[in-house]
Amino acid sequence: MGNVAVLNQKMNLAALCLRLCEEMKERYADSSYQMKSMPKDGAFEKEIAIGEDVYRALYEAMCGMIDIFSKGNNKIIVSTYQMGIVVAGLEIADKDLYDLCSVENDKYLIQRSRLGIVLAFLQ
């Protein structure tokens, strides 16, 4: 994780996708996960601004979801769609996400889960 420069500038969405995937490849180097990055939908032309804290939260949320919800084949694809990042290769039921972090009466309900805290932060 040390190879990521401080992010407080604008960058294109494709670069963010590639950076996230490369960092995850390092994290999961000793695992059976097959990580692949596939920026698309004109991601090289879409500029975004992201701070280091939001990048770290996004990275942790994605890794947490991979740890918990990866399918049996362990193929994980980090891609782009419109102005967002997509992680394919996960099997998530709505109930599973609601168990981690849900909102009732504008209050976040987090079930003692680091992933839930990150999801609430990103929201």
Q: pLDDT tens across 39-62, in order?
A: 987 899 999 888 888 889 889 889
- 9: amino acid identity, one letter: Q
Least confident of 35-39, 61-65, 96-100, 119-123: 119-123
Q: How far apart are CA 95 and CA 112, in angstroms?
A: 16
Q: Which of 75, 53, 41, 55 is nearest to 11 (CA)?
A: 55
C-alpha distance from residue 89 to each of 36, 51, 71 (Å): 11, 27, 6
Helical (H) or strand (E) element with 5: none
pTM: 0.73
For residue 1, the model assigns a pLDDT of: 44
Q: How far apart are CA 57 and CA 36, in angstroms?
A: 20
